[in-house]
Amino acid sequence: MDGDFTGPQSGPMETTETTETFDRLVRAEFAPKSVYLNTASSGLLPARSVAALHEAVLLRAEGRPLTSLYEDVEACRAAYARLARVPAARVAAGASVAAHTAVIAASLPAGAEVLTAEDDFTSVLNPFHVRGDLKVRSVPLERIAESVRPGTALVAVSAAQSADGRVADLPALREAARAHGARTYVDFSQAAGWLPMDAGAYDFTATVSFKWLLGPHGAAFLTVPEDFGGLTPLLAGWVAAEAPWDSCYGPVAELAHSARRFDLTHALFTFAGLRPSLDLLGELGVAAVHAHDVALADRFRTGLAALGHTPLAAPGSAIVSVPGLGDRQPALSRAGIEVSDRAGNLRAAFHLYNTAADVDRLLDALSG
């Protein structure tokens, strides 16, 4: 990673030592071979996670017991719970946001109204549509709080939009839902890891592991209320039992007393690699990561203005989407700069391993 590392932005409680610690931890874990500005698609794996994956694979290759891999699942559950600010008993470990959404969709009565944001990510939307007997209403993201009404059963929205990085006004949404007796479902897949979150403020939340949480593909977390919010564990297998190893044959006699009843069979290698990634985020602190990421995104926005480009409005987001520049993505990739093309827009996503020099190199490439 070339150039000066920005570290967390200075504040009244931050010191040079804090910045140096952030810098040291990140440099020890990441050495990308490109200017990687595509975390909104997939995050980079830290070195400690690569090592953990290697060790996990060796367990299988050498025929050794896999006990430690099951321990990784529970360690990830606890680490994510700390990140999400909920008890671990409210966290289920699954495989995809779509699967979690499907369980929520199945809990709704026929004819129930689900309020969503226009053009939100498909995994948040499609399970409600395929039911066929729900009233799914879509409105612009900026109007979602004001659009909650007495007949709304559930509000489902991404905390940060995948396409353009816009951040939902979650406090306003929560208050509007509460006023009308609606439940809330928030997908933090494009937010958890850089945007401070409080999953306990919403009925249900979900997150994938492979973006801002810096883990491998194959895991997703679901948070539920203490009373499970009326959900039925339709996808439950043996891991959803209170005593999994005693529930391998026949119907599960007793489901887990915690959110683990919504677990799906665990992708063990994924959790082995995710555990060190979550540990790293815990060491850095999401507040520091947030300050770092947003500062780089704002630097890019300022540079774009100097070049005569206007990004889509997404204040406070680590994701920047620029209309009309999506077709530059292949050439940028050939030049060693990784971004996304989303609906014709160039999408750049800034995370803890990026530097001010990365921003400037992208701006230089765009100016040419």
Q: What is the largest CA-CA distance in the chain?
A: 66
With 0.85 as the threshold, say if the pTM is over it: yes
- State the virtual CA torsion across 63, 68, 69, 70 in degrees, nearest 10: 120
Confidence (pLDDT) at 264: 97
Domain assignment of residue 9, yes or no: no
What is the phi/psi pair of residue 208, to 5°?
A: -90, 165
Do both 265 and 289 map to the same domain?
no
DSSP one-letter code for 1: -
Residue 2 belongs to some domain of the structure: no
CB 156 within 8 A of CB 174: no
**Residue 274, both tokens:** 């995710």
Picking from 243, 256, 327, the residue whose alpha carbon sits closest to that of residue 90 is 256
In terms of domains, do 177 and 205 share one?
Answer: yes
Instruction: Tell me: do 145 and 197 sit in the same domain.
Output: yes
User: Nearest-5° angle of CA 97, CA 99, CA 105?
Assistant: 100
**Dihedral, CA of residue 340, residue 341, residue 346 and residue 352, to nearest 10:** -10
Domain of 173 in residue numbering reads as: 67-282
Mode of pairing for the β-strands spanning 220-223 and 204-208: antiparallel
**5 within a domain of the structure (yes/no):** no
In this structure, the answer to whether residues 209 and 237 fall within a common structural domain is yes
171 and 76 within one domain? yes
pLDDT of residue 35: 98
pLDDT digits (tens, 9 = 90+) for 331-347: 999 999 999 999 899 99
Asked if 117 and 137 touch (Cβ cutoff 8 Å), the reply is no
Q: Strands 113-117, 35-36: parallel, antiparallel or unpaired by DSSP?
A: unpaired
Q: Do 318 and 242 share a domain, yes or no?
A: no
Structure tokens at 133: 């007997």
Higher pLDDT, 2 or 135: 135
Q: What secondary structure does DSSP assign to 47-116, as a single string?
A: HHHHHHHHHHHHHHHHT---HHHHHHHHHHHHHHHHHHTS-GGGEEEES-HHHHHHHHHHTSPTT-EEEE
305 vs 20, higher pLDDT: 305
Specify whether 248 is located in the same domain as 130. yes
Domain match, 30 and 150 both: no
Say if residue 14's pLDDT is above 60: no
Structural contact between residues 22 and 292, judged by C-beta atoms closer than 8 angstroms: yes
Q: Are 59 and 276 in contact (CB under 8 A)?
A: no
Read off the CATH number of the domain in which 326 is found. Answer: 3.90.1150.10
Is 7 within a domain? Answer: no
Q: 10 lies in a domain?
A: no
Q: Report which DSSP code applies to 326.
A: G
Q: Which residues pair with 341 in a beta bridge?
A: 346
Whether 11 maps to a domain, the answer reads no
Tell how far CA 190 is from the center of its chain. 4
Q: Is residue 291 part of a domain?
A: yes
pLDDT in tens, 214-234: 999 999 999 999 999 999 999
Other C-beta atoms within 10 Å of 114: how many? 25
Distance separating alpha carbons of residues 325 and 257, to the nearest angstrom: 50
- Are 103 and 247 within one domain? yes
* SS3 at position 182: coil
Which one-letter DSSP state was computed for residue 254? S
Q: How many CB atoms lie within 10 A of CB 230?
A: 13
| Domain membership flag for residue 168 | yes
Domain co-membership, 159 together with 299: no
Considering 262, 282, 302, which residue would you say is the last residue of a domain? 282
In this prediction, residue 368 carries a pLDDT of 81
- Residue with more model confidence, 313 or 10: 313
Q: Do 145 and 37 sit in the same domain of this protein?
A: no
CA atoms within a 13 Å half-sphere pointing along the CA-CB vector of 128: 28
Q: What is the CATH number of the domain that holds 141?
A: 3.40.640.10
Residue 5: pLDDT band by 50, 70, 90 thresholds? very low
Rounded to the nearest integer, the mean pLDDT of the chain is 95
Query: From CA 56, how far away is CA 32, in angstroms rounded?
Result: 23
Domain co-membership, 272 together with 123: yes
Q: What is the mean pLDDT of residues 52-59?
A: 98
Looking at the structure of the chain, the number of domains it has is 2
Q: By the 8 A CB rule, do 47 and 29 touch?
A: yes
Three-state DSSP class for residue 160: strand
Of 282, 312, 328, which residue is a domain's last?
282
- Indicate the residue among 248, 282, 316 that finishes a domain: 282
**1, 38, 177 from 365: Cα distances, Å:** 17, 16, 45
Six token digits for residue 5: 């590392």
